[in-house]
Each structure stands twice: as structure tokens, then as C-alpha cells.
């Protein structure tokens, strides 16, 4: 029960942060990716702000074994820099550049009630499922 409420609260805070940052507006993200044309560097401040805030906590919590709710902490094992990482991140980059939405803002964008966001999310779910069922 607790876990669900905490997840909901964290999602709400994350979503508010996304809107304030401007990341939920695809035009803003495209402006950041448009390095040769009226470049808008704001997104660096979004990622920078989040990393500077979270980084020190991760450092101090890195040896913790149990979360506050008592669950075992399992951080991702060291990921290899392999073909999957490089090709996957490249394909993600293409999709991100085509529309200006990454997964978090894509979900938050449902709050605009623009039906096109649902088309994007269904396509994204299809991509996740195809990957899951074709590559282990």
C-alpha cells in the first residue's frame, strides 16, 4: 500500500517538475536539439539541476542495503558499453528528434488531452513490446 502511495506522490512531483522545466513542450525540446538554428540551451539546466540535486544523495546512499520502506535495494548492475547500448540510444535519439518527446514528458503530455499524445504513447508501447519479445 505504502509503496503505491509513495510512487504516486513521486510521479506527481516529477510531473510538476517536468511542466515547470518546459520539458513537456515538444517545441521546447526540439529547440534544444536544434543546435544549428536558434538553439535553446534550457534543457541543459533541467538535466543539470536534477543531476546536481540527486547526485550527492546517491553518493551518500550508495551503501544502503534497505530502502526506507524496507525493500532490498537493487541498483542496476554495471551496464556494459555494448552494441545494445549504442544502437538503442541512437534509435531513441532519432525518435526523440522526430517528435520532441521522451518517455516521461510523453506520459505527462496526456494532461493536455491532445489525442495525438495517445497515438504517440501507443506507438511507444508497441516499441517496448516489440523489443521485449524479439531481443532478450
Partner 1 sequence: MNNFTPFSALLGGVIIGLSVVFYFYMTGRLAGISGIFENAITKASQRLSNLAFLLGLVIGPLIYFNFIASSAPVAFNITHSYLLIIPGGFLVGFGTRLGGGCTSGHGICGIGRLSTSSIIATGIFVAIGMLTVAVLQQFGIYL
Site for partner 1 in 22-81 (CB under 8 A): 22-28, 30-31, 33-55, 57-58, 61-62, 64, 66-69, 71-76, 78-81
Least Cβ distance, residue 105 to partner 1 (angstroms): 8
CA distance 108 to 43: 17
Min CB(118)–partner 1 separation in Å: 10
Binding characters for partner 1, 78-117, by CB under 8 A (x = yes): xxxx--xxxxxxxxxxxxxxxxxxxxx-xxxxxxx-x-xx
Cell numbers found for residue 47: 538535466
- Whole-angstrom Cα distance, residue 133 to residue 77? 22
Q: Which of 19, 4, 18, 26 is nearest to 96 (CA)?
A: 26
Amino acid at each position: 500500500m505504502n509503496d503505491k502511495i509513495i510512487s504516486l506522490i513521486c510521479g506527481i512531483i516529477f510531473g510538476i517538475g517536468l511542466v515547470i522545466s518546459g520539458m513537456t513542450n515538444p517545441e521546447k525540446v526540439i529547440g534544444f536539439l536544434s543546435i544549428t538554428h536558434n538553439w535553446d540551451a534550457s534543457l541543459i539546466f533541467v538535466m543539470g539541476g536534477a543531476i546536481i540535486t540527486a547526485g550527492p544523495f546517491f553518493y551518500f546512499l550508495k551503501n544502503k542495503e534497505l530502502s526506507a520502506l524496507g525493500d532490498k535495494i537493487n541498483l542496476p548492475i554495471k551496464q556494459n558499453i555494448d552494441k545494445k547500448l549504442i544502437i538503442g540510444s541512437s534509435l531513441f535519439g532519432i525518435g526523440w528528434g522526430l517528435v520532441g518527446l521522451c518517455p516521461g514528458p510523453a506520459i505527462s503530455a496526456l494532461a493536455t488531452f491532445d489525442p495525438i499524445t495517445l497515438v504517440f504513447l501507443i506507438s511507444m508501447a508497441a516499441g517496448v513490446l516489440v523489443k521485449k519479445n524479439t531481443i532478450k
